[in-house]
Chains A and B, each alone.
Chain A
Amino acid sequence: MRHPALVCPHVPSLLEQMNGYDIAVRVDRLEHVSRAAEDVRSAGGVLTRVILETDQPLSTVPIPEDWAGIPVALFTPGLGTYRDLSRQIQKLRDLKIHVCLPAGNSENLVSSRILASLGVTCCLVFDEREPRWAALSDLMTYAVFGPVPHAPVEPFHHIAEHYSPGAYLDWGSVYFDDPKEYLHLDSRGRAALSRRDLLSGSFIAEHISSINDPLENEGYVKGLNAWRRLFLDDHPCILCEGWKICLGRFGFNGSHKAGCSRFAADMLSEIEQYQSQRQEENPEGKTA
């Protein structure tokens, strides 16, 4: 199998050991973005994304010109005022910045639609707060069936493009949270299956160099199949209509809510409709 990309902190001594890996590098300061990208590249890594987390609203983040050519995922608590953001829209678009917003804040559901309609890719991050499901459902419909071209709203775009009726779909990769696609390293090179595992100190290897083929790592294989645990636990999510495209992700904090169940079921129905329409328009699956 293809080795998952590595999500690393911006520690030059660590990055120097990552020659040949696909790397997403995590920084916590705006002014470190360019340097982190340079460090990954000069160490022989393949830069997939610079992940910047900020507690500033997007409208107050001064995006520098020297981010050109750097794929940035910007995690921000909110948009701020549109009038202040408006001066940065062109830059966000030109630099192809992915804006990641917490879905638990209702304003961000509107903000995502604003950004997407202006050509800025955005991504809703499901945290411990329960989103307004009806508003989320409206946004999902816009993301999938929006009448005019717009930028992707993740995870809906990913789900619409990758869903297959005969298979389960894990879309955590849009947040770097899918061990098939990403492993998370700490500054010592220890590997974890997710950011959450990393922060809780739950590692599958003492150093990433010990994982040549991830499928030979017991912890990794166990992590890949973590969703099966819900069946063993008789979790209510397994009976949910939307299970195939949720895998318990919307049932955050291990709980199952009526709202998320209805939402996931609606989403599944719309995605199937979307794929069916696409099939009708392009029966042989030809690409342009």
Chain B
Amino acid sequence: MANLLLTTRCVRSCPYCFAKNEMAESDPSDILSWENVIYVADFLVRSNDHHIALLGGEPTLHPQFVDMTLYLLERGFHVTVFTSGIMSDERLEQLGSYLSTFPPERIQFVCNLNNPDQTPAPKGETEKVFRFLTALGPWTTPGFNIYRTDFSLDFIFDYIARFGLQGQVRLGLSSPIANQDNLYIKKEDMKKVIDRLYGYRNRFEKLRARPSLDCGFPLCYFTDEQLGWFYRMAGPMNFGCGPAIDIKPNMDVYSCFPLSNIHKRSLFEFNSIQEVVAFYLTLHDRIRQDSPGVFEECAACIFRNEGRCAGGGVCHSIEASCP
């Protein structure tokens, strides 16, 4: 699955944003054209990949967000939209009228939620998010980026129950941006984060909600008991860090947001998504040669050598190797 950025404009300014570097350097008038939507759709079809994620910035800011999403659905894609849920009433009405006619198996929203107490938002923003969740709750998976060790998930469980959200919580570790500053979880704090997450197990169980871990979590920081619980709740876990493949409106492509300022290429240089992935896997391997993982022990770790753990995200490796 590739991530396609419809626009680099965003309605929020999150302190942990690992896309901020990319957003700041982009021309705000650079929005995805129809020609490029069709190019990407053809590119993915030719690659036999029928899943696409729409990102931003805030993708719903694109004036033709609904039209382009409908187009991709017509082309047979399963579409995942990563959104803040903050949008105009008119746009929300369009989403309700046109997109909610498709089942959640075809279109899904991942709503990146900030805890209103810990990451205060401008007045009115939370109400906007509530309106979105009210309209599209059954299509929506809550997403949460962890950037502080005292994070609280209580509000998410409340939202799941209140808005009928999908029973899965997508949990991301806020990542360092290569050569830039942002708030993120330091490697020495990862254990605290995992323990705190595990502390919410009763609430996950009560709602039958599945914790879904994004990249960057190191296997060795989980106890066997924790691993057992995560497995029981969510099935096999992935401690890898593969290229996500983000495609900008101008068809620039890079491995993922945190690595956006390293080895940016153009999608036009590749013939298939498999070629893009192979290119960035090679790049990851090169980075890993210099810095095998976030911890010194990663170099000799059998789980890393067997490919069952990436030793944290590559972005953490770059950060670890920086003086």
User: Which positions in A face B, CB cutoff 8 Å?
Assistant: 81-83, 86, 89, 110, 113-114, 117-118, 138, 142, 146-148
Whether a CB of chain A sits under 8 angstroms from the CB of B231 is: no
Q: Using a CB-CB cutoff of 8 Å, which residues 75-95 of chain B contact chain A?
A: 75, 94
Whether a CB of chain A sits under 8 angstroms from the CB of B41 is: yes
Partner of B71, one of A114, A146, A148: A114
Q: Are A117 and B42 in contact (CB under 8 A)?
A: yes
Partner of B38, one of A81, A86, A89, A117: A117
A-chain residues with CB within 8 Å of residue B41 when the two chains form the complex: 117
The 5 closest A-B pairs by CB, nearest first: A82-B67, A86-B70, A110-B34, A148-B42, A83-B67
A-chain residues with CB within 8 Å of residue B35 when the two chains form the complex: 110, 113, 138
Q: Are A86 and B34 in contact (CB under 8 A)?
A: no
Complex Cα spacing A142 to B42, Å: 11
Whether a CB of chain A sits under 8 angstroms from the CB of B23 is: no
Whether a CB of chain A sits under 8 angstroms from the CB of B64 is: yes
Q: In the assembled complex, how far is the CB of residue A139 from the closest CB belonging to chain B, in whole angstroms?
A: 9
Q: In the assembled complex, how far is the CB of residue B32 from the closest CB belonging to chain A, in whole angstroms?
A: 12
Whether a CB of chain A sits under 8 angstroms from the CB of B117 is: no
B-chain residues with CB within 8 Å of residue A83 when the two chains form the complex: 66-67, 70, 94, 98
Q: Using a CB-CB cutoff of 8 Å, which residues 1-57 of chain B contact chain A?
A: 33-35, 38, 41-43, 45-46
Q: Using a CB-CB cutoff of 8 Å, which residues 255-310 of chain B contact chain A?
A: none
Q: Are B43 and A147 in contact (CB under 8 A)?
A: yes
Partner of B46, one of A81, A89, A113, A148: A148
B-chain residues with CB within 8 Å of residue A146 when the two chains form the complex: 42
Complex Cα spacing A147 to B43, Å: 8
Whether a CB of chain A sits under 8 angstroms from the CB of B74 is: yes
Partner of B75, one of A81, A113, A117, A142: A117
Q: Are A89 and B74 in contact (CB under 8 A)?
A: yes
A-chain residues with CB within 8 Å of residue B74 when the two chains form the complex: 86, 89, 118
20 A-B contact pairs sorted by A residue (CB < 8 Å): A81-B67, A82-B67, A82-B68, A82-B71, A83-B66, A83-B67, A83-B70, A86-B67, A86-B71, A89-B74, A113-B35, A113-B38, A114-B71, A118-B74, A118-B75, A147-B42, A147-B46, A148-B42, A148-B45, A148-B46
Q: In the assembled complex, how far is the CB of residue A277 from the closest CB belonging to chain B, in whole angstroms?
A: 16
B-chain residues with CB within 8 Å of residue A81 when the two chains form the complex: 67
Q: Which residue of A lies closest to B34 (CB)?
A: A110
Complex Cα spacing A82 to B67, Å: 5
Complex Cα spacing A269 to B43, Å: 24
B-chain residues with CB within 8 Å of residue A114 when the two chains form the complex: 34, 38, 71
B-chain residues with CB within 8 Å of residue A142 when the two chains form the complex: 38
Q: How large is the interface on B (under 10, 10 to 19, 20 to 34, 35 or more residues)?
A: 10 to 19
Q: Which residue of A lies closest to B66 (CB)?
A: A83
Q: In the assembled complex, how far is the CB of residue B101 from the closest CB belonging to chain A, in whole angstroms?
A: 9
Q: Are B34 and A113 in contact (CB under 8 A)?
A: yes
CB < 8 Å A-B pair total: 42
Complex Cα spacing A113 to B40, Å: 13
Q: In the assembled complex, how far is the CB of residue B65 from the closest CB belonging to chain A, in whole angstroms?
A: 10
Q: In the assembled complex, how far is the CB of residue B311 from the closest CB belonging to chain A, in whole angstroms?
A: 37
A-chain residues with CB within 8 Å of residue B94 when the two chains form the complex: 83
Complex Cα spacing A114 to B70, Å: 12
Q: In the assembled complex, how far is the CB of residue A198 from the closest CB belonging to chain B, in whole angstroms?
A: 36
Q: Which residue of A lies closest to B64 (CB)?
A: A82
Q: Which residue of B lies closest to A110 (CB)?
A: B34
Q: Using a CB-CB cutoff of 8 Å, which residues 95-130 of chain B contact chain A?
A: 98
Q: In the assembled complex, how far is the CB of residue A37 from the closest CB belonging to chain B, in whole angstroms?
A: 28
Partner of B98, one of A86, A110, A138: A86
Complex Cα spacing A200 to B70, Å: 44
Q: In the assembled complex, how far is the CB of residue A4 from the closest CB belonging to chain B, in whole angstroms?
A: 37
Complex Cα spacing A117 to B42, Å: 8
Complex Cα spacing A179 to B189, Å: 80
Complex Cα spacing A186 to B45, Å: 48
A-chain residues with CB within 8 Å of residue B70 when the two chains form the complex: 82-83, 86
Q: Which residue of A lies closest to B37 (CB)?
A: A114
Q: What would 4 more interface pairs be, CB under 8 Å, given A86-B67, A117-B38, A147-B43?
A: A82-B71, A83-B67, A113-B38, A118-B75
B-chain residues with CB within 8 Å of residue A86 when the two chains form the complex: 67, 70-71, 74, 98
A-chain residues with CB within 8 Å of residue B43 when the two chains form the complex: 147
B-chain residues with CB within 8 Å of residue A117 when the two chains form the complex: 38, 41-42, 75
Q: Which residue of B lies closest to A107 (CB)?
A: B34
Q: Which residue of B lies closest to A89 (CB)?
A: B74
A-chain residues with CB within 8 Å of residue B34 when the two chains form the complex: 110, 113-114
Q: Which residue of B lies closest to A118 (CB)?
A: B74
Q: In the assembled complex, how far is the CB of residue A48 from the closest CB belonging to chain B, in whole angstroms?
A: 29
Q: In the assembled complex, how far is the CB of residue A152 from the closest CB belonging to chain B, in whole angstroms?
A: 16
Complex Cα spacing A197 to B40, Å: 44
Complex Cα spacing A148 to B44, Å: 10
Q: Which residue of A lies closest to B98 (CB)?
A: A83
Q: In the assembled complex, how far is the CB of residue A155 from the closest CB belonging to chain B, in whole angstroms?
A: 20
Which of B41, B45, B74, B94 counts the most chain A CB atoms within 10 A?
B74
Complex Cα spacing A64 to B67, Å: 23
Q: In the assembled complex, how far is the CB of residue B310 from the closest CB belonging to chain A, in whole angstroms?
A: 33
Which of A81, A113, A148 counts the most chain B CB atoms within 10 A?
A148
B-chain residues with CB within 8 Å of residue A82 when the two chains form the complex: 64, 67-68, 70-71
Q: Which residue of A lies closest to B70 (CB)?
A: A86
A-chain residues with CB within 8 Å of residue B75 when the two chains form the complex: 117-118
Complex Cα spacing A83 to B71, Å: 8
A-chain residues with CB within 8 Å of residue B45 when the two chains form the complex: 148
B-chain residues with CB within 8 Å of residue A147 when the two chains form the complex: 42-43, 46
